[in-house]
Amino acid sequence: MFEEAFGRFLEEQRSSASGQRLERLHKDLTGEKKMLGEVVWPVLRSFEGITLEYEIISLTGVKIYIDAFYEPLRWALESEGFVPHAQNITRDRFDFERMRVRTIVMYGYTYIPFSWDELDKKPEACRRAVYELLGRHSTE
């Protein structure tokens, strides 16, 4: 059921996108798909309110993309692999990643990162975290 729903969702996202966002939606989305399949779909049972490769502009004017943005709760959901986000990172890239997180927070979004290994080896813990965040939001 997830595969079929994800396929439709991705096509909808692509049909409404343009520019760099559209280009990103045609690249390898393995991490995003893993995060949606292991965490988002099982918890929300829908992709309603989700935007893939959500574009924001940093204070320096740089375009930044959030893997999956959940509009109703203003969540910035990120799937981060170890190699591209840690192992082979340069000092400049490290600085950019910190600026990126600050920008997301300055927009007032809740930054929710998941590592590939967490999604792969501990998906239930990832889902519990999202359920906990949903519960905290419902009591506000």
Q: Supply the pLDDT for residue 87.
A: 61
Helix and strand element counts for the chain (H, E): 8, 4
Residue 130 pLDDT > 90: yes
Q: Supply the pLDDT for residue 90.
A: 79
Residue 132 pLDDT > 90: yes
Name the band, by pLDDT with cuts 50, 70 and 90, for residue 137.
Answer: confident
pLDDT in tens, 102-121: 999 999 999 999 999 999 99
Q: Residues 32, 52: contact at Cβ < 8 Å? A: yes
CA–CA gap between residue 70 and residue 87 (Å, rounded): 28
Q: Supply the pLDDT for residue 80.
A: 81
Average pLDDT along the chain: 91
Instruction: Give residue 78's identity as a one-letter amino acid code.
Output: E
Using a pLDDT cut of 70, give the percent of the chain over it.
Answer: 93
Q: Supply the pLDDT for residue 81.
A: 67
pLDDT (mean) for 1-6: 96
pLDDT (mean) for 14-22: 97
Phi, psi of 46 (to 5 degrees): -165, 160
Name the band, by pLDDT with cuts 50, 70 and 90, for residue 97.
Answer: confident
